[in-house]
Structure 1
Amino acid sequence: MSSLDIPHAAMKDSITTLNLAAHWPLGRPDRDMINALACRTLPPLRTGTDLFAQGDRLTSIFLLLEGWAARYKMLEDGRRQIVSLLLPGDLCDPFCFLLHRADHGVTALTPIKVAEVGRNQFEEIALSHPEVTRAMWINALITASIQREWCVNLGRRTALERFSHLFCELYHRLLTVGLVSGGGFHFPVTQLELADATGLTMVHTNRILQEMRRQRLIELHRRHLVVPDLAALERVCAFDPYYLHPAAQETS
């Protein structure tokens, strides 16, 4: 039997399938293939555990099924910069095994559940399910687009604009996979992690969060973030969701 054999009965779409299909139309056989990949789960990882570290050799790609993680870079003196947040449904660098070593690490911000796809299995998919491969390439391009926006965040936006833009981005990304309800979403990121993601001190981070609460731009309580008025929050940072390419499936 092929390592990619899947059941004949259609599976319930995994969160990875929902994410990929949001940006490229996928038929039932392709969806079932991704669902089968999502069943290749590893033992759960605890908060603070690295999925892989900077410098590791990578021979697989990973699908984040549950929990939040972060890509990060470490400086020699121990300072850390979080360079992106990984949400349920995200792929952890689907083509990184083409390089010799990882140039960054991925760490669990919460307990996480991931599925692993080896290089041989990925190469089989490329031949037998080209639309899945195309969806993964689009996902990688959108990831690069998000990274460029984070560069603008760190280089040009004010502290208030940085946080507003980050929260708008998370809202839209989580909405894509059905994880926004009542204008809010689970938000397990600590103030230290927010500081590492925005290039600010803990004191400045706390001050900005208090200001956003005061202006009723956000409500943050017990790891749950609510955006009372998304349009108002978007106006603060001139947020344009186009860089997330919500209509990437359009070919016109």
Structure 2
Amino acid sequence: MTRQTPIPSQSACPSSLRIGAMDFDGSDIALLNFRNSLQSVPANRTLLHDGSDSGKIIIVADGWLATSKSSLSGEVQLIDLLLPGDIADPTSADGKTAGLNIEAVTDAKLCAIPLPDWHKMLAASPRLARANELVQAAERSRLSERMLRLGRGSAESRIAYALIELSLRLKPLGLSENGAFHLPLTQQRIGDFTGLTAVHVCRTLRRFVRNGLVETADHMDVRINDLTTLAKVAGVEPDRLAAEITPVPD
């Protein structure tokens, strides 16, 4: 079982922080009340458990985080993957407890901000408020796309969509070039993300490789070789999808 790392009660924020596609530094009024430091978290460390005390916003500065829900029988559904610049608001409607699990997929750096402080920051900085709006809008768009495929899509469409989504999201971060990117997920985790078994993920990826759509290596370096065909399998238009799930500033 993974251990839970308490998120520090004192606000911690870097001297420069990317939120969505916008960069913020110490000159921004919204960040003046925060020390120039980061909370480092090792890979596979659980930050929050569903139902535990919350009340904080988490901003990913570096690395990958994952949000998930677990059934009483132990089955896991990975809800979302959070990349640098993304914001996690895990607090449920009671204002006190987390409504999901948050785990570090890779070694990560994050900024944890108490909700009252975050609300003050948003009120003080229209630019920060706009960045937050764009990040949340991008999250809603990708979650709706993924839910459509979880409910109605084939295994092929689910995995094809996941690969395209991640490639598009990593590109503006400089982590995907010409369709090539590193995916720090086991096949089991890809299955948790797409609602499939690890065996089904393995078979589907092999079929994509055999048909020349993608290449995989070294657990898991991925290259999308035929975006046009993969997009047809996923049922998406890549340019339109990129505009909807990438928080580009106005």
Q: TM-score, normalised by structure 2?
A: 0.81
Alpha-carbon distance in structure 2 between the residues aligned to 1:114 and 1:245: 21
Q: State the 1:55 CA deviation.
A: 0.6
How do residues 172-251 of structure 1 correspond to structure 2 at under 5 angstroms? 172-222=168-218, 223-241=220-238, 242-243=240-241, 244-246=244-246, 249=249
RMSD across aligned C-alpha pairs, in angstroms?
Answer: 3.1
Q: Which residue of structure 2 lines up, in the alignment, with residue 63 of structure 1?
A: 59
- Partner letter of residue 113 of structure 1? K
Report which stretch shifted further, 130-139 or 146-155.
Answer: 130-139
Match of 2:165 in 1: 169
Task: Summarize deviations over 1:146-168 as a string: whole Å, max 9, x none.
Answer: 11111111111111111111111
Cα separation, 2, equivalents of 1:38 and 1:115: 10
Distance change >3 Å, CA 195–CA 119, structure 1 → 2? same
Q: Once structures 1 and 2 are overlaid, which stretch shifts more, 206-215 or 59-68?
A: 59-68
Alpha carbons of structure 1 residues 34 and 172: separation in structure 2 relative to 1, 3 Å: farther
Q: Does 1:21 align with 2:22?
A: yes
Residue equivalent to 2:150: 154
Corresponding residue for residue 7 of structure 2: none
**Which range moved further: 232-241 or 107-116?**
232-241
Identity %: 26
- In the aligned structure 2, how far is the partner of 1:247 from the partner of 1:72? 22
Contact 2:161 2:234 in 1 (8 A): yes
Q: Which runs of 5+ in 1 are unaligned?
A: none
- In the superposition, relative to structure 1, how do residues 102 and 152 fare at CA in structure 2: closer, same or farther (>3 Å)? same
**Conserved? CA contact 1:72–1:104, under 8 Å:** yes
**Paired residue total:** 236
Q: 2:47 — aligned with what?
A: 51
Contact 1:171 1:180 in 2 (8 A): yes
Tell me which stretches of 4 or more aligned residues in structure 1 moved more than 4 Å. Answer: 26-30, 32-39, 94-98, 245-250
- Rounded Cα–Cα distance in structure 2 between residues aligned with 1:232 and 1:37: 47
Find the partner of 1:80 among 76, 80, 89: 76
- By percentage of residues, which structure has more helix? 1
Structure 1 distance, partners of 2:97, 2:229, is 43
Moved more, 92-101 or 131-140: 92-101
Q: Per residue, is there more strand in 1 or in 2?
A: 2
Uncovered stretches (5+) of structure 2, i.e. residues with no partner: 1-9
> What TM-score results when the alignment is normalised by the length of structure 1?
0.81
1:89 aligns with 2:85: yes
Give the CA deviation at 1:172. Answer: 0.7
